Chain A
Amino acid sequence: NAGVMQNPRHLVRRRGQEARLRCSPMKGHSHVYWYRQLPEEGLKFMVYLQKENIIDESGMPKERFSAEFPKEGPSILRIQQVVRGDSAAYFCASSPPVINEQFFGPGTRLTVL
């Protein structure tokens, strides 16, 4: 399966803990996007990255959230000191360099207790 991979699929954290979400883009894709889907809401853009660069983070909360896409390895979305309001499905998408067709992973469902 050469699709976008995300892990873990489900993540449970207690308030104040850290959550790390991983995303491996499709082979040949150098652009990665993170979106959040809150219960009963639509998908909202969070951040757009290319290798070692954050291109657009205008959808990211100013505090506690960070993202990276290192030269080697998966993209990481990191949420520090999680709160109950962070409970959501987090989706990663990737696209090839030339055409903006975004292919989504299966998502990570974060539950904060």
Chain B
Amino acid sequence: TQLLEQSPQFLSIQEGENLTVYCNSSSVFSSLQWYRQEPGEGPVLLVTVVTGGEVKKLKRLTFQFGDARKDSSLHITAAQPGDTGLYLCAGEGLETSGSRLTFGEGTQLTVNP
């Protein structure tokens, strides 16, 4: 069974601060996706990383895929209240059939004004 562990589980910071969320596994993933989910809504895809060591930037968000494709991080610069939400990482396994995603438990981020 492939597992993804996210840390921290909860994070509460002040507007303007920087933060990093981690997603770790002992398994190798062919790709990894980051989502943000608001209460009562479905996850919204932020980014997909495929290559080991890959770094992608989306405005103030920076995503990195580990060299061994077992872990990933999400860094937010100068967080804003609008960044508040549940951040989920999800991996596509190498060995699973089809393209099912394995999700982490999520990091609940609260950015206080």
Residues of A within 8 A of B41 (CB): 106-107
Residues of A within 8 A of B104 (CB): 42
* Distance between A11 CB and nearest chain B CB, rounded to angstroms: 14
Q: Does B98 contact A (CB under 8 A)?
A: yes
Tell me the residues in window 46-75 of chain A with beta carbons closer than 8 Å to chain B beta carbons: 48, 55-56, 58-59
A33 touching B42 in the complex, CB below 8 Å, given contacts A42-B88, A104-B35: no
Give the total of B residues in contact with A, Cβ under 8 Å. Answer: 24
Q: Does B71 contact A (CB under 8 A)?
A: no
A43 lies within 8 A of B45 (CB): no
- Provide the bound-state CA to CA distance between A55 and B105, in Å: 25
Residues of B within 8 A of A103 (CB): 45
- Provide the bound-state CA to CA distance between A65 and B8, in Å: 34
Q: Does B43 contact A (CB under 8 A)?
A: yes
A42 lies within 8 A of B103 (CB): yes
A43 touching B43 in the complex, CB below 8 Å, given contacts A100-B31, A100-B92, A101-B33: yes
A56 lies within 8 A of B98 (CB): yes
Q: Which residue of chain B is the closest to A91 with respect to CB atoms?
A: B42
A48 lies within 8 A of B42 (CB): no
- Provide the bound-state CA to CA distance between A66 and B63, in Å: 37
Q: What are 27 residue pairs bridging A and B, where the CB atoms are less than 8 Å apart in the complex?
A: A4-B42, A33-B99, A35-B101, A41-B105, A42-B88, A42-B105, A42-B106, A43-B88, A43-B101, A44-B103, A45-B100, A45-B102, A48-B99, A48-B100, A55-B97, A56-B96, A56-B97, A56-B100, A58-B97, A58-B100, A91-B43, A93-B101, A101-B33, A102-B45, A102-B99, A103-B45, A106-B41
